[in-house]
């Protein structure tokens, strides 16, 4: 296993539900270490660019509208197999299908308002991290716990 970095986003519903802290705690419990964090209101252009791979999908407009409906928390998570571990922590895209104990099963209300984004491959993680964070905005530190 290799130490990787992956991008996580707490979507607007996660902020509205007041579960930023709970979500970050889950990551820390699972050895996913936040090495960059920023809260931001995305512009329409930023959200469209981020989700460009989905631009032909019927849900694209709603997805972008939702992602700019309020601020989000952007995070880089570091850890062993961080991409897959984050995806496992998130649960399935549709919270109704997400396994109990996953973030989406526990906090998400619908397939649109599904609380978190996570990169879906190591290659995409690099692209998505670079979309939101400069190298100098990413830190590194050791856990002593």
Q: Is 54 a catalytic residue?
A: no
Nearest Cα neighbor of 6 from 131, 141, 125, 124 is 125
Give me the least distance between CB of 87 and ligand IDP, in Å please: 8
Measured from the CB atom, the residue of 109 and 139 that comes closer to ligand IDP is: 109
Query: From the candidates 5, 33, 104, 117, which is the catalytic residue?
Result: 117
Terminal CA-to-CA distance of the chain, rounded, Å?
21
Measured from the CB atom, the residue of 38 and 96 that comes closer to ligand IDP is: 96
Kindly report the number of other CB atoms within 10 A of residue 37's CB atom.
Answer: 17
Kindly report the number of other CB atoms within 10 A of residue 142's CB atom.
Answer: 6
Please, where are the H alpha helices in 1-145? 12-16, 20-29, 44-50, 60-67, 82-90, 103-107, 122-132
120 binds Mg ion (CB under 5 A): yes
Measured from the CB atom, the residue of 56 and 142 that comes closer to Mg ion is: 56
Which residues from 24-43 bind Mg ion, rule CB under 5 A?
none
93 binds, among Mg ion, ligand IDP, none (CB under 5 to 8 A by kind): ligand IDP
Give me the least distance between CB of 136 and ligand IDP, in Å please: 28
Give me the least distance between CB of 116 and Mg ion, in Å please: 10
Asked if 111 contacts 97 with a C-beta cutoff of 8 angstroms, the reply is no
Residue with tokens 């197999």: 81
Report the interface residues with Mg ion, using CB under 5 A: 120
Residues identified as active-site? 117
């Amino acid at each position: 296993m290799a130490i990787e970095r992956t991008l996580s986003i707490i979507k607007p519903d996660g902020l509205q539900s007041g579960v930023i802290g709970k979500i970050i705690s889950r990551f820390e419990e699972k050895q996913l270490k936040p090495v960059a964090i920023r809260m931001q209101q995305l512009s329409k252009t930023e959200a469209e660019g981020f989700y460009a791979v989905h631009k032909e999908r019927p849900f694209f407009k709603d997805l972008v509208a939702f992602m700019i409906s309020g601020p989000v928390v952007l995070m880089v998570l570091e850890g062993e197999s961080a991409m897959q571990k984050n995806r496992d922590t998130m649960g399935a895209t549709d919270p109704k299908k997400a396994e109990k104990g996953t973030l989406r099963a526990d906090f998400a209300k619908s397939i649109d308002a599904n609380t978190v984004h996570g990169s879906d491959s190591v290659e995409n993680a690099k692209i998505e991290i670079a979309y939101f964070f400069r190298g100098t905005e990413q830190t590194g530190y050791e856990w002593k716990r």
